[in-house]
Amino acid sequence: MDKIKIEKGTSTEEQIVELLNSAATESDDQSKVDCLIKIQELIIHKEPGLLDNFVDEITAFQHDRSADVRKTVVGFIEEACKVDQELLGKVMHSLQLLLNDTSIAVLKRVIQALTQLHKVTLQWLAKAKSVTGLMESTWNMLNQMKSQIAKMIDHDNDGVRTIAVKFYEMIIISQTYPEPDSVRKENEFSLEEVPLTLKIARPRKLEEEAQLMIEDLMKYHGSAHISSANLMACMGSLTHIAKSRPQFLDRIVTAMEMLHANLPPTLSKSQVNSVRKHLKLQLLTILKHPASHERSGNIKTLLADLGATPQEINKALPSPEEIAKYPRRSERAEDSKSGPAAKRRKIEVDAVPLNRENTKEKALSITEEFIVQHLSTKKATDLVIDALPRITNNMPPHFSSTYTPVSEAGTPKQIRHVARLLASQMTNVGIGPGVDQVGYTPKMGNDFEDDDEEMDDGVSAVSPRFRDGDDPAKPGIAQIPPQVQIRARQRALKLAEIVKPLTPQMNESMARSALQRVLKAERTAMLGGVAANRQKILASLATLFSGDFKDLVVEYIMSDPRSRIELAFSWLYEEYSMVMGFCHQSTIVKDEYRQSAIDSYSSVFCSLVNELKKQTDLKEREMLLSRLFHESPHIPEEGVSILRSMLCEDAKLVDISIQIVRQLVHRPTKQLVYLNVLLEISSHEVEEVRSAVLSCLTDLYDRGALRRVIEDYAVMYLKFLLLEEPPALLCGPEKGRSEIITTWTEEITKACLYLFLAILHSNEKLIHELALVYVQANADIKRRILRMVEGPVEGMGMESPELLKLVETCPKGAETLLIRIIHILTDKYPPTHALVDRVRNIYQQRVPDVRFLIPVLNGLGKKEVLSVLPKLIKLNPDVVKKVFGRLLGTVGDSSATYPSPLSPTELLIALHNIDSTQCDMKTIMKATSICFMERGVYTQEVLAVVMQQLMDQNPLPTLLMRTVLQSLSLYPRLSGFVMNILQRLIVKQVWKQKKVWEGFIKCCQRTKPQSFAVILQLPPQFLQELLNTSPDMKTPLLEHVMAFTDNQRMHIPKLTMDVINGIAQFQAEAEDITNEDSKDKEMGSPEPMESAFHGDIEPPAPGET
C-alpha cells in the first residue's frame, strides 16, 4: 500500500511495471498474490486499455510454484476476458494448461473461470461478424476443455465434482432456448443470442449437447453413491435449470420424486436431514415458478412428505394471475406451430425420442396408472402382510428422521401419491406394466454393464445425426460433440471414493472385535460343523496380527487349555509356516520379515508356555506342557530358557521339565542344547532338582548317548576344584545359588563333584581323573572329596580293573584317596586276592604306610599280620580299634563274617608276645585293653584259652598277670580258673620274673581269701615277700590258717607257719637270696596238696564271704 501511495503520481503503466517486478522478485507467495491482485485492479478497473500490453506478463505467472499465485492468474484471466473478449484467443491456451494443474484448488478455479468464459466465448462468437481462425481454434480448445471438465463429474475430489456440476448447469442453460416463463437473470446467455448462421457453433448442435448434458446431470443426481454435498449442488443446479428452462421442469420434478423415494444409502442421518431439507427448499422454489403449475399436485404431496406445512406450501404457490399469464405448455406447444419457435420446438421434439429419461417417465406414468387402478384396500393389506417378515427388528436410523405421518390416508390423492412412489421404485428396478410397454431398461448406478451398453447406444444413435446435418468439410468440429458424449457417463463404483480409510484406532478396534467374535463363536462353529475351519481362521488371524491380538488369542486358549490346545498348535504351525516360508503370504517374505516372523513365533510359543505354567490343574498342566514342547514344530531359544528356568526355579515343575528335556535330548539337531540345559542344572543347589537331573543324566550316560559331552562336562567341573576360587558360573539363580560364592565352601565343592561322581559308577576310568585332581587340590577339598567318594566307589566294587589299576599306578599324593577307596570297598566285603596283592605291593615297594594294609588285613597272611601288628597298634587308638574290629570281624555288618587271618585268641596272644623293642609296653597295654573291650569276642572262655596258652609260654609274657587281672575283673567267675593259674605260676616259680611276680601278688590280693590256699603254697621266703609287699594280707591269712583244723594245719610247713606268724622274717629274706637253687625242690613238694586244698577251700566264693 505504501508503495502505491508513493507512486500515485506516476502513471498507471509505471505502477504496473513496478508491481510486476516486485511480484517476480517477491519470495513470499502471499505478497506475490497481493501484487497480482493490485495489478488486476489497476488494469481492469482503471486502465483496461493496458490489458493487451500486460496480459502476457501476467499469464507468465501461471508457472509459479505457488498454487495461490496460479489461482490468482486464473482469476485475472477470467476478469480480463470479461472485459476484453478479444483476449480469449490469447489466454485459452493458458487455461488449457492450468486445467491439468496438479493442485485441486487451481483446478477448481479454472473450472469456475471456464464456467464464466464459456458464456463469454459464445457471446464473442455470436457477436463476431465473421469467424476468424483464432476464434475457431479458441472454440475448439474450449470444446476440448469442455469434454475434459464433463468427465470431472466423476472426479475423485468432492469439490471438483461440485464445480463440474455447476459447469454442467451453465452449459445447459446457455446452450438452450429460454421460454416465455423462464426466469431471466442478468448476464444470462441463451441460444437466442446465437445466430443460426454461426457455422462453428450451430445452435442446434449446441442444444443437442445441452440435452445430453442434462441427461447426464440427472443421472448423476440419481446415482446411488453421490455424496451429500454433490447431491445438494446437483439439486440446486437442477432447480436453477428448471426455473430458467421450464421445458425441463417436468423431468426435474420426476427426478426429485425419484430421489425422494430412493435416497442414496450412503448418507448419514444428519445428511439425510440436510438433503431432505434442501429438497424441500428446492421444491418450494420450483413451486413458486408458474410453470410448475401442471405438476403442483405432485410437488405438494412431496413437500408434505418432506414435512412442509400447508402454510409454507401455500405461500410458495404462485398467484392464479401469474399462472394464467403463461399458457399451459401442452397447449402452448400446439399454439406455436409457426415461426422460428416452431422450428426450435421441432428440433426439441426430435431430440426427445432419444431421451431415456422421457422413456422412463412414460413408463413411470403407465405403471402409476396401473397401480392406481389396482390399489384396493385388500391389495394394500396383502402388500403390507407380505412385506412384514422383511421388516427389520430395529428401525433404520433415517426412517425415524424421515417419517412424517400420512395426512390424508385413503383419499384418492394419497392413493395416487403412493402409486407414484411405488411406480418410481418399480420403474427403477425395471418392473411393472409401464416398463414392459415402453421397453425401458433401468440403469442402476451399480449396474455397470447396463451403463456401458447404454452409453454405446447413445453414441451410435447420436453420431449419425451429426453426420447427416453437419458439414463434412470440417471434421475437426464435427468430432467434438461425440467426444462430449464419450466421456465415462456411467457412475462407476469407485471404492476409493466412497470409502474412507479407517483411522488406525478404529481399524484396530474393529479388527479386535472381529477377532473376538470369531473367538466367541466356538459353540456355534462346533454346532455348525466348521470347528476346523474356525480353528484355521483363528490361527491365520492370530498369525497375521500382532501384539494385543496375540495376547487375546493366548488368553482365549488359556481359559480352557485342554480343549483349545489344538488351536494353539494350529497357530504355532501357522507361525512356523510363516517363518519357513511355507505360506503363500510369505512369498514376499524377505530376510527382515523372516526375522520378525521368527520373533513372532517364539513370542507366541513363550507366551503359551508361560500361561500354561500358570494353570492350576497340575496334571493337566504337565500334560499340556509336555505336549507343547514335544509337538511344536520348533522350540525357540527363548523356549529353551523357559524350560531351564522351569527346571531350576519351580520345584513343582521339575519333574515334568526333566521329562520334557529328556525326550527332547533325543532330537538330533538340538541334542546339545538340551543336554546343556541338563548339564547346567546338574550342579543345582536344591537336592531334589539335582538328583532328578543327575539320575536323568546318568541314565543318558549309561545308554551311551552323548557320553563324551557329559564326560567332558563332568571333568571340566571336577577341574574347577583346582582353581583359586569357585568360578562364577557355579552361582546364579539358575543354579539355586543367588549369591556369588568366592571361597571353596563345602557346598560349592560338592557342586563340582555331583555330576562326576554320578557318572563315575558308569565309567570307572574316570577315577584316574579324580585321583589327578585330588593330588593337586588343597587339603579342605581333599577332605571333602574323601567324604563324598564313598557312595560311588562302593558301587564300583573291588573287582573293578580300573580301580586295581589305580591302586597299581597310584599317583603320588593320592595315597589318602586310595586308602579311603580301599577302605570303603573292604568295609563290607573281604578284600579280594587281587586287591590284596596290589596293596601289598604298594606297601612293600612304594609307600611303607601301614595304613594301606588295614583295609586288606583280612586278606593278608597270618605272618604278615603279625609282622605289622606292632606298627598297627601304634596308630591312633581309633584306628587301632577299627583294625581290631576288622581282624575280629566286629566291624560292619554282623552278617559279614569272613575269615580273619587271626583268631581273637591269636590276636591277644600276639599282642602279648610283641617285642617290647618294637613297641613300648604302654601301647601294647592299650591294644590289649581294646581287645578286652570287645566283650562279645573275648568271652571268658576265650580269655581262659588265652591265659592257658600264655601260661605255657616260657618266659611268661610280661603282661600275663595284667591280662589275668583284667579277665578276672571282667569275668569274676573266672576266679577258680585264676586260682589254678596262680597255682601253676607258683610251680613255674613266678617270683623269678619281677613284673609277673608283682602281678601275681596283686592278683592274690584281689582274689583273697580264695588266694590264701595258693599263697600258702608259696615257698616261705616268697610268702614273706608277699606279705611284706601287702601287709594287709597278713592278718586275714593268719585267721584263715587259724580256722584250719589241727589236722589241716599239720600240712602247712613249719616255715610257712612261722612266716605267717611273723617269725623268721630275716631267714626268709636271707634264704631268698642264698637258696635260689632249692626253689625248684620246694616247689615240687606242695604240688600234690594242691588238689586237696583246692577242693576244700574253693566253695566259699569271694562275693559270699
Site for other proteins, rule CB under 8 A: 104-105, 108, 111-112, 115-116, 157-160, 162-163, 166-167, 169-170, 185-187, 227-229, 232-233, 236, 239-240, 268, 270-271, 273-274, 277-278, 281, 285, 500
**What is the sign, positive or negative, of the torsion defined by CA atoms of 990, 992, 993, 998?**
positive
Q: Which of 639, 626, 763 is nearest to 701 (CA)?
A: 763
Q: How far is the CB of 226 from other proteins (least distance, A)?
A: 11
Q: How far is the CB of 39 from other proteins (least distance, A)?
A: 21
116 versus 890: smaller Cβ distance to other proteins: 116
The count of other CB atoms within 10 Å of the CB of residue 530 is 14
Residue type, 448: F
Q: Which of 452, 454, 422 is nearest to 441 (CA)?
A: 454
104 versus 786: smaller Cβ distance to other proteins: 104
162 versus 749: smaller Cβ distance to other proteins: 162
Alpha-carbon span 1058 to 477, nearest angstrom: 186
Instruction: For residue 840, count CB atoms less than 10 angstroms from its CB and return exposed for 0-12, middle for 13-18, buried for 19 or more.
Output: middle
Q: Which of 771, 766, 782, 841 is nearest to 812 (CA)?
A: 771
Q: How far is the CB of 161 from other proteins (least distance, A)?
A: 9
Q: How far is the CB of 233 from other proteins (least distance, A)?
A: 5
Q: Grid coordinates in use for 853?
A: 594294609
Q: Grid coordinates in use for 1056?
A: 610257712
Express the helix, strand and coil content of the chain in percent, nearest 5 each: 75, 0, 25
- Beta bridge partner(s), residue 732: 737
Contact between residue 43 and residue 80 where contact means Cβ atoms under 8 Å apart:
yes
Q: How far is the CB of 178 from other proteins (least distance, A)?
A: 15
Q: Grid coordinates in use for 317?
A: 404457490
Residues 6+ apart with CB under 8 A from 691: none
Q: What's the Cα-to-Cα distance from 404 to each of 272, 301, 306, 558, 721, rounded to whole Å?
A: 14, 12, 7, 54, 97
80 versus 1059: smaller Cβ distance to other proteins: 80
Q: How far is the CB of 254 from other proteins (least distance, A)?
A: 21
308 versus 706: smaller Cβ distance to other proteins: 308
116 versus 816: smaller Cβ distance to other proteins: 116
186 versus 1080: smaller Cβ distance to other proteins: 186
Q: How far is the CB of 248 from other proteins (least distance, A)?
A: 15
Instruction: For residue 665, count CB atoms less than 10 angstroms from its CB and return exposed for 0-12, middle for 13-18, buried for 19 or more.
Output: buried
285 versus 949: smaller Cβ distance to other proteins: 285
3-state secondary structure of 523: helix
278 versus 621: smaller Cβ distance to other proteins: 278
Q: How far is the CB of 399 from other proteins (least distance, A)?
A: 16
241 versus 880: smaller Cβ distance to other proteins: 241
187 versus 319: smaller Cβ distance to other proteins: 187
105 versus 486: smaller Cβ distance to other proteins: 105
217 versus 777: smaller Cβ distance to other proteins: 217
- Beta bridge partner(s), residue 531: none
Contact between residue 555 and residue 615 where contact means Cβ atoms under 8 Å apart:
no
264 versus 855: smaller Cβ distance to other proteins: 264
Q: Grid coordinates in use for 260?
A: 425422494
Q: How far is the CB of 270 from other proteins (least distance, A)?
A: 5
Instruction: For residue 653, count CB atoms less than 10 angstroms from its CB and return exposed for 0-12, middle for 13-18, buried for 19 or more.
Output: buried
Q: How far is the CB of 237 from other proteins (least distance, A)?
A: 8
227 versus 626: smaller Cβ distance to other proteins: 227
Per-residue burial over 1050-1074, b if 16 or more Cβ lie within 10 Å, else e, is eebbebbbbbbeeebeebbeebbee
Instruction: For residue 2, count CB atoms less than 10 angstroms from its CB and return exposed for 0-12, middle for 13-18, buried for 19 or more.
Output: exposed
Q: How far is the CB of 111 from other proteins (least distance, A)?
A: 8
The count of other CB atoms within 10 Å of the CB of residue 986 is 22
The DSSP annotation for 474-519 comes to -HHHHTHHHHHHHS--S----HHHH--PPPHHHHHHHHHHHHHHHH
Contact between residue 565 and residue 624 where contact means Cβ atoms under 8 Å apart:
yes
3-state secondary structure 46-68: HCHHHHHHHHHHHHHHHHCCCHH
Longest dimension (CA), the chain: 207
Residue type, 65: R
Alpha-carbon span 540 to 24, nearest angstrom: 61
Q: Which of 827, 824, 821, 828 is nearest to 804 (CA)?
A: 821
First to last CA, the chain: 157
Q: How far is the CB of 236 from other proteins (least distance, A)?
A: 6
68 versus 551: smaller Cβ distance to other proteins: 68
Phi-psi region at 797: left, alpha or beta (left = phi > 0; alpha = psi -120 to 50): left
Q: For 830, how many CA atoms within 13 A lie in the half-sphere containing its CB?
A: 15
284 versus 565: smaller Cβ distance to other proteins: 284
Q: Grid coordinates in use for 605?
A: 510359543
Q: Which of 432, 430, 478 is nearest to 454 (CA)?
A: 430
285 DSSP assignment: H
233 versus 291: smaller Cβ distance to other proteins: 233
Instruction: For residue 989, count CB atoms less than 10 angstroms from its CB and return exposed for 0-12, middle for 13-18, buried for 19 or more.
Output: middle
> Residue 1067: which H helix or E strand, with range?
helix 1065-1074
